[in-house]
Amino acid sequence: MAEKVTLSVIKADVGSVAGHSCPHPSMIAKAKELLDGGVKSKIINDFQISRSGDDMEFIMTHNSGENAKEVHELAWNAFIAAADEAKRLKLYAAGQDLLTDAFSGNVRGQGPGAAEVEFEERKAESVVVFMADKCGPSAYSLPICRTFMDPFTTTGLVIDPRAHQGYDFEVVDVIDHKRVVMSAPAEMYDLLTLLGDTTRYAVKRVIHKELGIAAVISTEKLNITAGKYVGKDDPVMVVRCQSGFPALGEVLQPFAFPALVAGWMRGSHYGAWFPCASEESTPTFYDGPPRVVCIGFQVSNGKIQGIEPPNSAPGKHVPVDMFSGKEWDYVRNKAMEICLYIRGHGPFMPAIVSPDELEYTTRPSVLKKLEPRMEPL
């Protein structure tokens, strides 16, 4: 049997320039040094560093399976090196997502988010990685449902014999830390009963009964992990495409609907999801809008294969940046229109999240102050 490959996407915000905007190039250079070392010492086979807004994403291939201590430690050390550089340069929120001083064997629960999938490489292993900024893990629920449940999005569910059986969904309750696996289409309405509550439920994995994991999402809720407000979750998602899984286009189409997602500005606002290229993901409007970046590549013999970037030396290759095309201008314009509309509500719901979801609030102190003046009706 062929050796299995693991794709690990581990992300964190460890500092940025001029507020919650973009990591400094020397932070990325420091992280790259560490990951280059990881390739030399054979901890990982290959890697790419990408970014979405103020988050850095390490996309790594290796043969050690999910939750491999040495891979997580490598990512942790690379984030520490980038955070140290951010501190040295006095950047904003340096080390923000690194919640503990020492690595304890796995990045989960320590601040960074992780989406990992182990698989036997298919003849052609097409993969896309989504990277979100200024939103929580439930943001992916709507597009995931469209791609894996909705035949009006994914015609493959109707006409591809392998996709026709449907998919299993692993749903997590991010508040009570429980999970349940349910099947679509058989339990579709029950699934949507849970997933419609984006304050509590999120999809962790989508699984094909024969082909294995189709999609995996980082579902760590940073404010819950830390017990207090420390930043946004800004989740990542890995989706395997084609040959029994949805076609690339069936995975991307749902993002043409600029859905409202929670986590914008102070982690407390709703905004329309804005699909854009990685290099255009710097938040410049009200610390947003909430972004989603998507890069695609092949995993081939354990390595990441992409395309030649413009104006680059021959031989260099990078992933395909899926939302860089002009087709997405229409969606971006629509997203901005919705964002401006919802901003018109200022601090009123539904522009802001519910009182329970606010990352911080003055309400208890205001109510305490007013207590003596509160009268029965």
**Rounded CA separation 221/170 (Å):** 17
Q: How far apart are CA 209 and CA 165, in angstroms?
A: 8
- Strand (E) or helix (H) holding 365: helix 363-370
CA gyration radius, the chain? 21
Report in angstroms how near the CB of residue 97 gets to Mg ion at its nearest.
9
CA–CA distance from 228 to each of 130, 221, 223 (Å)? 26, 11, 5
Per rule CB under 5 A, is residue 170 in the interface with Mg ion? no
Q: Which lies closer to Mg ion via its Cβ, residue 13 or residue 250?
A: 13
Question: Quick check: is 334 catalytic?
Answer: no
Q: Decide if residue 233 touches Mg ion (CB under 5 A).
A: no
| Count of residues near Mg ion by CB under 5 A | 6
Binding pattern for the stretch 7-36 against Mg ion, x by CB under 5 A and - elsewhere: ------x-----------------------
Q: Minimum Å distance from CB 288 to Mg ion?
A: 10
Q: Is 97 in the site for Mg ion (CB under 5 A)?
A: no
Of positions 46, 54, 170, 287, contacts Mg ion by CB under 5 A = 54
Closest distance of CB 71 from Mg ion, Å: 22
Cβ within 8 Å of residue 127, ≥6 positions away: 7, 238, 239, 240, 241, 296, 297, 298, 299
Region from 30-38, 171-179, 234-242, 358-366 binding Mg ion, contact rule CB under 5 A: 234-242
Q: Write down the least CB distance from residue 110 to Mg ion, Å.
A: 17
3-state SS record for 26-68 = HHHHHHHHHHHHHHHCCCCCEEEEEEECCEEEEEEEECCCCCC
**Active site annotation includes 13:** yes
With beta carbons less than 8 A apart as the criterion, state whether 100 and 79 touch: no
The answer to whether 85 contacts Mg ion (rule: CB under 5 A) is: no
For Mg ion, which is the closer residue by CB, 55 or 118?
55
Give the shortest CB-135-to-Mg ion separation in angstroms: 9
Residue 69 contacts residue 105 (beta carbons within 8 Å): yes
Q: Is 133 in the site for Mg ion (CB under 5 A)?
A: yes
In a 3-state reduction of DSSP, which class is residue 252? helix
**360 among known catalytic residues:** no
Report the catalytic residues: 13, 229, 232
Q: Binding residues for Mg ion, per CB under 5 A? A: 13, 53-55, 133, 234
